[in-house]
Amino acid sequence: MTERFTGSFTQQESIPEAGIEAAVAVMRHGRLHRYNTAPGEVAETALLEQEFAALVGAQYCLAVASGGYAMATALRAVGVGPGDKVLSNAFTLAPVPGAIAAVGGVPVFVGVTESLTIDLDDLEAKLGEARVLLLSHMRGHICDMDRLMAMCDAADVVVIEDCAHTMGGAWNGVPSGRHGTFGCYSCQTYKHVNSGEGGFIVTDDPHLAAKAVMLSGSYMLFERHLASPPKEAFDDLKYTTPNISGRMDNLRAAILRPQVADLATQCARWNARYHALENGLRDTPGLTVIERPAEESIVGSSIQFLLLDWAASAVREVIARCAARGVELKWFGAPEPVAFTSRYDSWRYAPSKPMAASDRILAGIVDMRVPLTFSLEDCALIARIIRDEVSRIHNRMSA
C-alpha cells in the first residue's frame, strides 16, 4: 500500500487564548491605534516592544507593519538612498531585494553555499562595492556570524540582519538579529509569531532607533514608547525625518504578546519536527541533507534539502510525485517564479549577472514548510514519502 499524507502545509495553530482575549478587549474599547490611549493606559504595542527587546537583549525595539517595512526602514535609517548599492543574498525571498528597491537602492547579489548560507568568500570579494549589507538568514540558515562581522567591521560595512526565518535562533549564543546594527523580524502568518502581518526592528544605537521611530510615523508622540531612546535623541531628528507611516496597531500587538512570551517553547516544538524529518531523510540516495553547524541554534519551521546536479525534469518529477501523495514541496530552481519561490535573476528591477556556482545550488534546492500542526508521526510519514520518491527516481537515473 502506498502511503499518503492528508494534512495541510498552510494550516497554522490557533492564536493563544490569552491573545484572543486581549484582542477582544482592544476591540471592545476601540483604541486600536498605538497612540490612542486612555489616561494612565500603556498601549499594547509599547508593551510588546519592551517585551521583545528584553527577549533578544536589545536596547531598543520598534513594532511595525511588516518585515519588509522593517528592512526598508532600517535601510533608510542608515542612509541608503537612490542609486546606492547594497550587498545582499542571491538566495532569498523577494521582500529583501524589494526593500532595497523601495529606498531606491541597487542590490549587489552575493552567492550561496551548499549550506544555504551567504558565500563569505564571495562577500569578501565584493565588500568594496557597497557600504551596507542586508543579510538574509534565508529559510533559517545562519552563516558564520563571527567571520562575517569581522569582515564587515574591517571594511566599515553596516550589517542589517533579515531575521524573518530566525526569530528565536542564535549563533554562538547570540540571538539572531543582535550581531548587526539592526535586526529585522517578521510576524507574518508563516513566521514564528503570527499576527497576519507585522514586524520588529531592534538596535542598540540610540540615534538610529530614534530615526526609525520617526520614520515609522510617531509624529511627536515618541515619548509614549517604552523601548525607544530618551527624548533628547529626537532633538536633531524630529523636524528633519520624513513620516513614512508603518506603525503596528494595538490589535496585532495584543495577539502577539503571548506568542512572544512562549517563543522558546514553540521553537523547541519546531525543532523536534525538523529533526524527525531530517532523520527520516538522511542517507537517501541522491539527496543531500543540509548539515547544521554546532554554533547554530536553529528554529526548524521549514526544511530544505538538495538534489544537486539533477536534471530539471527529474526534480519536477519528484515535486509532482510527492504532491500526488499529499506532500507539498517548493523548488528554487524553476526558471519562472512560483508562489514565494524566485531567483535573483527573476527580479528584473534589480540588475544581475549569472553566478554559475550559485545557479548550480539554486537549481537543486527543495523547500518544505513545517507547521506546528504536524505531529511527529506526520513528519516521519512525510520523510518516508519523500525518501521513497527521491530514491525511486534516483535509482532509475542510475540504472
Of 216, 274, 233, which Cα lies nearest the Cα of 62? 216
User: 242 and 268, same structural domain?
Assistant: no
The CATH number of residue 284's host domain is 3.90.1150.10
More confident residue, 289 or 350: 289
Which among 237, 169, 96 is positioned nearest to 228, based on CA atoms? 237
**What is the Cα–Cα distance from 63 to 202, expressed in whole angstroms?**
9
What's residue 340's pLDDT? 81
- Report if residue 303 sits inside a domain: yes
What pLDDT score does 335 carry?
83
Is residue 141 in some structural domain?
Answer: yes
Beta-carbon contacts of residue 362 (< 8 Å; ≥ 6 apart): 90, 91, 112, 332, 333, 343
Residue 150 lies in a domain: yes
Q: What is the residue type of 223?
A: E
Which cell numbers in the block locate residue 310?
539533477
| Residue 84 to residue 101: CA distance in whole angstroms | 10
Among 243, 261, 279, residue at a domain's last position: 261
- Does any domain span residue 226? yes
Residues 278 and 149 in one domain: no
Same domain? For 229 and 214 the reply is: yes
Domain hosting 332: range is: 263-398
**Which of 230, 261, 292 represents a domain boundary (last residue)?**
261
- Residue 4 domain flag: no
- 230 and 271 part of one domain: no
Is there a single domain that holds both residue 340 and residue 251? Answer: no
pLDDT digits (tens, 9 = 90+) for 92-110: 999 999 999 999 999 999 9
Helix (H) or strand (E) holding 281: helix 263-281
Q: Which three cell numbers stand for residue 38?
A: 486612555
Specify the length of the chain in residues: 399
Quick: pLDDT tens for 21-68: 999 999 999 999 999 999 999 999 999 999 999 999 999 999 999 999
In a domain, 379, yes or no: yes
Q: Check: CB of residue 148 under 8 Å from CB of residue 159.
A: yes
Domain count, the chain: 2
Residues 226 and 308 in one domain: no
Q: Are residues 244 and 348 in the same domain?
A: no
Query: Which residue bears the cell 566599515?
Result: 156
5 domain-assigned: no
Residues 151 and 249 in one domain: yes
Interatomic CA distance for residues 366 and 368, integer angstroms: 7
Tell me the percentage of the chain whose pLDDT exceeds 70.
100
Whether 239 and 288 map to the same domain: the answer is no
334-383 pLDDT, tens digit each: 888 888 888 898 898 988 989 999 999 999 999 999 999 999 999 999 99
Same domain, 252 and 303: no
Mean pLDDT (the chain) is 97
Q: Give me the residues paired with residue 89 across strands.
A: 110
Residues 190 and 79 placed together within one structural domain of the fold: yes
Query: What is the pLDDT confidence band of residue 141, given thresholds at 50, 70 and 90?
Result: very high
Q: What is the CATH number of the domain that holds 237?
A: 3.40.640.10
Residue 126 has pLDDT above 90, yes or no: yes
Is the Cβ–Cβ distance between 249 and 32 less than 8 Å?
yes
129 near 156, Cβ under 8 Å?
A: no
Q: What's the confidence (pLDDT) of residue 334?
A: 85
Q: How far apart are CA 159 and CA 177, in angstroms?
A: 10
What is the phi-psi region of residue 131: left when phi exceeds 0, alpha when psi lies from -120 to 50, beta otherwise? alpha
Regarding whether 267 and 257 lie in a shared domain, the answer is no
153, burial (CB in 10 Å: exposed 0-12, middle 13-18, buried 19+):
exposed
pLDDT at 76 over 70: yes
Q: Is residue 1 part of a domain?
A: no
Q: Is the pLDDT of residue 1 over 80?
A: no
Look at residues 261, 296, 321 and tell me which one is the last residue of a structural domain.
261
